[in-house]
């Protein structure tokens, strides 16, 4: 075992297969990197780090899109815009297709088209045995099921096949919230209960961090289609609230994705601060939850609250169709404080965690893509009991020795 990771950049699926066999021969722990957002891409203490950057081809065949396992959503958005197509995907250009999809993938079009994983119709995958296989509805169907939210537990996906959607454009609105945050959240919740599925909204309240995420509370909304009037009409109750100000209107889906970058950190950059909090899929955004979230943000200056509406196409998918939990959830919620050295003490850390535990007590499940540490005990909370049992059976068949374990690990 090496003291620092051996980073390798395969150029073909056959290269990936050879590396998997080599890693096992040399007893090297495998870490797979695609995109660079997850903790396993930046925290690789040893073993073999397989970087899929070179496997990033994007090929469009009608409404089917074949995407290499190392591609990022920004490149996909650029390629698909020219074809008048789109996939419900990540919010940020540098998010990897692989990690987002394997964890489910809640994006701007989640109410219109569901999760990224819901649009996955096939994969090419390198197994723990170092073999290349295909998984579709007709071939290795149970493996494909597991990959629609079960994470990177079952192999290395070298190609994703998606059913894309025709999209001529979008309407986008962004509102700066300068008034009562609780009133905004209640109004937004109420209108989303009957909103057309073309509408998805995100609420974010953050401290000053960087130019791509200005401080304060904002409500952003995307309409799947270029009907700006429909977007404005749907959000009129929010726009009418005191202290709410319209900030941006942009027509291009590609621009929305590409204008929300995550700053790249250089090799000598300081490690990001710890995050004290978590996330959850909630059945309802009730008044009690709203009050807790607003109080949380107000109590801790270096904290963030993030919400995204669900329902619509997300809820249409029968629970057993994918491993992804809580299809009955209507909101995704994240809240936490940044553990910045010198800014908070032990008492504040304890208070933040206690406050978060009160919030999470009402969640249906945790969303693994927003859980950035390896916590084996938390894995059962990311799936239903039935799905976890089924995932363990797939793991036993395809990776009985747990070769792929640097993830939210499912053990056979």
pLDDT of residue 291: 98
* Nearest of 334, 276, 272 to residue 37 by alpha carbon: 272
Q: Is the pLDDT of residue 265 over 90?
A: no
The Cα 295–Cα 196 span in angstroms is 30
- Arithmetic mean of pLDDT over the chain: 90
The Cα 267–Cα 78 span in angstroms is 28
- Per-residue confidence at 285, pLDDT binned at 50, 70, 90? very high
- Per-residue confidence at 259, pLDDT binned at 50, 70, 90? very low
- Per-residue confidence at 220, pLDDT binned at 50, 70, 90? very high
pLDDT of residue 133: 98
Top-level CATH class of 1-167? alpha beta
The Cα 175–Cα 219 span in angstroms is 5
How far the first Cα of the chain sits from its last, in Å, is: 25
Structure tokens at 150: 């079960």
Q: Is the pLDDT of residue 191 over 90?
A: yes
φ, ψ for residue 23, nearest 5 deg: -60, -40
pLDDT (average), residues 193-197: 97
Residue-wise pLDDT tens digits, 389-401: 999 999 999 999 9
* Nearest of 76, 12, 89, 21 to residue 403 by alpha carbon: 21
pLDDT (average), residues 222-227: 88
Q: Is the pLDDT of residue 147 over 80?
A: yes
- Per-residue confidence at 366, pLDDT binned at 50, 70, 90? very high
What predicted TM-score, i.e. pTM, was given to this entire model? 0.93
Question: Is there a shared CATH topology between the 1-167 domain and the 171-252+271-370 domain?
Answer: no
- Is 409 exposed, middle or buried, given 0-12, 13-18 or 19+ CB atoms closer than 10 A? middle
Which of residues 287 and 343 earns the better pLDDT score? 287
Structure tokens at 232: 């404005």
pLDDT (average), residues 53-75: 95
Of the ranges 78-87, 170-179, 211-220, 333-342, which one carries the lowest mean pLDDT score? 211-220
The Cα 112–Cα 313 span in angstroms is 5
The Cα 314–Cα 320 span in angstroms is 13
pLDDT of residue 239: 93
The Cα 149–Cα 325 span in angstroms is 9
Contact 283, 291 (CB under 8 A): no
- Per-residue confidence at 266, pLDDT binned at 50, 70, 90? very low
Q: What is the 3-state secondary structure (H, E, C) of the chain?
A: CCCCCEEECCCCHHHHHHHHHHHHHCCCCEEEECCCCCHHHHCCCCCEEEECCCCCCEEEECCEEEEECCCEHHHHHHHHHHCCEECCCCCCCCCEHHHHHHCCCCCCCHHHHCCCHHHEEEEEEECCCCCEEEEECCCCHHHHHHHCCCCCCCCEEEEEEEECEECCCCEEEEEEECCCHHHHHHHHHHHHCCCCCCEEEEEEEECCCECCECCEEEEEEEECCCCHHHHHHHCHHHHCCCCEEEEEECCCHHHHHHCCCCCCCCCCCCCCCEEEEEEEEECCCCHHHHHHHHHHHHHCCCEEEEEEECCCHHHHCCHHHCCCCCCCCCEEEEEEEEECCCCCCHHHHHHHHHHHHHHHCCCCECCHHHCCCCCHHHHHHHCCHHHHHHHHHHHHHHCCCCCCCCCCCCCC
pLDDT of residue 288: 98
* Nearest of 301, 81, 347, 106 to residue 205 by alpha carbon: 301
Q: Which residues pair with 60 in a beta bridge?
A: 65
φ, ψ for residue 67, nearest 5 deg: -130, 130
pLDDT of residue 43: 62
Sign of CA dihedral 233, 238, 244, 248: negative
Domain boundaries, the chain: 1-167, 171-252+271-370
State the residue for tokens 């722990």: 29
- Per-residue confidence at 250, pLDDT binned at 50, 70, 90? low
Q: Is domain 171-252+271-370 in CATH 3.20.20.70, yes or no?
A: no
The Cα 273–Cα 372 span in angstroms is 12
- Per-residue confidence at 359, pLDDT binned at 50, 70, 90? very high
């Amino acid at each position: 075992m090496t003291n620092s990771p051996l980073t390798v950049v395969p150029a073909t699926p056959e290269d990936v297969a050879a590396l998997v066999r080599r890693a096992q021969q040399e007893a090297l722990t495998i870490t797979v990197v695609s995109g660079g957002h997850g903790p396993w891409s930046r925290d690789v203490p040893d073993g073999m780090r397989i970087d899929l950057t070179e496997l990033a081809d994007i090929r469009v065949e009608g409404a089917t899109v074949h995407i290499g396992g190392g591609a990022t959503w920004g490149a996909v958005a650029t390629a698909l815009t020219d074809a008048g197509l789109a996939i419900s995907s990540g919010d940020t250009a540098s998010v990897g297709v692989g990690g987002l999809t394997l964890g489910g993938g809640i994006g701007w079009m989640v109410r219109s088209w569901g999760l990224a994983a819901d649009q996955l119709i096939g994969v090419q995958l390198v197994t723990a045995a170092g073999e290349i296989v295909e998984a579709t509805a007709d071939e290795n169907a149970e493996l494909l099921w597991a990959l629609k939210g079960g994470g990177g537990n079952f192999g290395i996906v070298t190609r994703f096949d998606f059913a894309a959607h025709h999209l001529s454009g979008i309407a986008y609105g962004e509102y700066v919230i300068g008034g009562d945050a609780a009133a905004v959240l209640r109004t937004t919740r109420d209108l989303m209960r009957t909103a057309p599925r073309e509408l998805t909204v995100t609420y974010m309240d953050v401290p000053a961090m960087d130019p791509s995420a200005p401080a304060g509370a904002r409500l952003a909304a995307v309409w799947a289609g270029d009907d700006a009037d429909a977007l404005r009409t749907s959000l009129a109750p929010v726009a009418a609230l005191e202290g709410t100000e319209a900030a941006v209107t942009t027509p291009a889906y590609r621009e929305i994705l590409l204008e929300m970058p995550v700053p790249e950190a250089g090799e000598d950059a300081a490690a990001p601060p710890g995050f004290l909090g978590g996330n959850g899929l909630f059945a309802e955004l009730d008044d009690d939850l709203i009050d807790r979230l607003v109080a949380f943000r107000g109590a801790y200056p270096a904290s963030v609250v993030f919400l995204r509406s669900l329902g619509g196409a997300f809820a249409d998918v029968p629970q057993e169709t994918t491993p992804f939990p809580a299809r009955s959830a209507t909101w995704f919620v994240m809240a936490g404080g940044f553990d910045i050295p010198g800014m908070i003490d032990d008492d504040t850390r304890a208070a933040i965690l206690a406050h978060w535990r009160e919030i999470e007590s009402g969640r249906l499940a945790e969303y693994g893509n927003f859980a950035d540490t390896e916590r084996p005990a938390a894995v059962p909370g990311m799936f239903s009991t039935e799905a976890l049992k089924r995932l363990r059976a797939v793991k036993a068949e395809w990776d009985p020795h747990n070769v792929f374990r640097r993830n939210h690990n499912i053990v056979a």
